């Protein structure tokens, strides 16, 4: 690695990283978890979708927890680092000291771009250095962390803006007990959130071409190039299918025939690559038999409403499914173990702890005329897993009642998102 180029990159990145007032910064809810994790000596690993705000979160961590104390920041996404290899980490550290003096804290952005990075991190960690690192590929991070840093790291997944973060971005006040006008403004913002999603940079500029560039970069850089895939057409068709059929069950064998891929296992791998890059998520059907869980169809969900509206076929934008996808993402933010239920009827989400069901959630636009159907799936799940209460999330209804000795709690989605 050329030392002069390295110095230039370090200086430029430091100026951008420490610049004040260059963007509308919404304080992320993840900072609450970060404050607990920073009390530990462990490496803090922040993973999530590209452009979901990881670099901004690093800025907030520096500002909130390190103030004017010196830290070393480096973003491995810079195209001038094409030749940077693991052996260059020592040179990077030496250059940091030369330019800024000694520090015990490293902020590394998109570190998965350098193979073997974990060797340097482990060596320096054992010498008492602190690392806060980000990455956009859950599989690469977990594999490297698991083999070299077992027991030495804590992980945090960052998603696009939650609804409260979106409200802060839009400048909408949301007190615990909102009055009529405040409720109206919150509901108006909720409709916008459902349409535009929570990707910070897209919300800042609202440019469809920018969003398409994000999407293309993930498919090309994070999947096609990284995994050495030769069939770009098949990957794009699969992504289009998944974004057009979110909140539904998928069958690998049917997708293999539809897309003309080599085998159902190839489809499974491709979906795995999309999951590793945080583009889509799958959840299994709950069953007490692990074997049945493995072989049952999975349900797929998308990372953000903006991608759904950009990529999917227009006829696939079912508002009920959009609401279900939104609820799924919030449950992921709350770090819950999720399944779905299907027997005679379906329940959207089964929440588990240690693989045992502890909650059931159904999502629907409205209950008017649908009560028997919506209650049916929820009640079936409550009975199957011996649960005494269930939650139904709708656009606006709010009440509680006892049905067949089970407590049914009905809440507006917007209000639940603010809890």
Give residue 144's pLDDT. Answer: 67
Tokens of 128: 């008492």
* CA–CA distances in Å: residue 229 to residues 201, 216, 221, 233, 237: 29, 15, 11, 10, 14
Predicted confidence (pLDDT) per residue in 134-159, tens digit: 998 887 667 667 777 888 999 999 99
Give residue 22's pLDDT. Answer: 46
Domains identified in the chain and CATH numbers: 3-158 (3.40.50.300), 193-417 (no CATH)
Interatomic CA distance for residues 321 and 418, integer angstroms: 20
Q: Are 46 and 57 in contact (CB under 8 A)?
A: yes
355 DSSP assignment:
T
Interatomic CA distance for residues 154 and 90, integer angstroms: 24
Give residue 21's pLDDT. Answer: 61
Of 313 and 205, more confident: 205
Q: Order of strands, edge to edge, in the sheet holding 298-302?
A: 248-250, 298-302, 280-283
* CA–CA distances in Å: residue 265 to residues 59, 239, 262, 270, 272: 41, 16, 8, 9, 10
Interatomic CA distance for residues 71 and 185, integer angstroms: 41
Residue 177's φ and ψ, nearest 5 degrees, are -120, 80
Question: Up-side HSE of residue 88: CA atoms within 13 Å toward CB?
Answer: 16
Find where tokens 């699969």 sit.
238
Q: Is the pTM of this model over 0.85?
A: yes
Question: Which has the closest alpha carbon to 61: 115, 131, 12?
Answer: 131
Give residue 290's pLDDT. Answer: 85
Interatomic CA distance for residues 163 and 199, integer angstroms: 11
Predicted confidence (pLDDT) per residue in 215-248, tens digit: 999 999 889 998 999 889 999 999 999 999 999 9
DSSP 186-253: HHHHHHHHHHH-S-HHHHHH--HHHHHHHHHHIIIIIIIITTT-S-HHHHHHHHHHHHHSTTEEE-HH
Mean pLDDT of 264-270: 94
Percent of the chain with pLDDT over 90: 81
Question: Which has the closest alpha carbon to 301: 276, 320, 275, 277?
Answer: 275
Question: Which has the closest alpha carbon to 399: 389, 418, 412, 416?
Answer: 412
Give residue 1's pLDDT. Answer: 86
Q: Are 45 and 33 in contact (CB under 8 A)?
A: no
Predicted confidence (pLDDT) per residue in 31-73, tens digit: 999 999 999 999 999 999 999 999 999 999 999 999 989 999 9
Tokens of 328: 């799924």
């Amino acid at each position: 690695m050329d030392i002069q180029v390295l110095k230039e990159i370090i200086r430029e990145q430091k100026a951008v990283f420490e610049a004040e007032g260059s963007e509308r910064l919404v304080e992320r809810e993840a900072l609450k978890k970060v404050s607990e994790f920073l009390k530990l000596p462990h490496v803090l690993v922040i993973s999530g979708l590209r452009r979901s705000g990881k670099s901004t979160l690093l800025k907030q961590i520096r500002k909130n927890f390190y103030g004017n104390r010196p830290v070393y920041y480096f973003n491995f996404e810079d195209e001038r680092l094409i030749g940077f290899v693991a052996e260059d980490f020592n040179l990077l550290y030496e250059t940091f000291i030369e330019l800024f003096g000694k520090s015990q804290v490293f902020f590394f952005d998109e570190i998965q771009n350098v193979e073997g990075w974990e060797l340097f991190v482990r060596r320096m960690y054992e010498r008492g250095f602190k690392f806060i690192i980000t990455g956009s590929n859950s599989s690469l991070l977990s594999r490297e962390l698991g083999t070299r840093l077992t027991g030495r790291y804590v992980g945090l997944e960052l998603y696009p803006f939650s609804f409260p973060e979106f409200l802060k971005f839009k400048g909408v006040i949301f007190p615990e007990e909102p009055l009529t006008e405040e409720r109206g403004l919150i509901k108006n913002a909720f409709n916008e959130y459902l349409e535009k999603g929570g990707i910070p940079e897209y919300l800042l500029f609202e440019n469809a071409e920018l969003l398409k560039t994000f999407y293309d970069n993930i498919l090309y850089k994070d999947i096609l190039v990284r995994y050495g895939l030769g069939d770009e057409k098949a990957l794009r068709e699969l992504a289009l299918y998944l974004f057009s059929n979110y909140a539904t069950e998928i069958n690998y064998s049917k997708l293999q025939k539809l897309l003309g891929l080599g085998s159902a296992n190839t489809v499974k791998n491709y979906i795995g690559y999309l999951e590793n890059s945080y583009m889509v998520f799958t959840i299994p059907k709950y069953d007490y038999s692990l074997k049945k869980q493995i072989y049952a169809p999975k349900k797929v969900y998308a990372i953000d409403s903006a991608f759904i509206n950009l990529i999917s076929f227009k006829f696939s934008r079912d508002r009920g499914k959009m609401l279900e996808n939104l609820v799924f993402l919030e449950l992921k933010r709350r770090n819950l173990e999720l399944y779905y239920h299907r027997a005679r009827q379906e329940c959207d989400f089964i929440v588990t702890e240690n693989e045992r069901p502890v909650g059931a959630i159904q999502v629907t636009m409205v209950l008017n005329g649908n009560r028997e159907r919506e209650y049916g799936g929820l009640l079936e799940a409550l009975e199957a897993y011996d649960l005494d209460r269930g939650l139904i999330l709708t656009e606006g209804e709010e009440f509680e009642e006892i049905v067949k000795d089970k407590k049914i709690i009905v809440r507006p989605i917007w209000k639940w998102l603010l809890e």
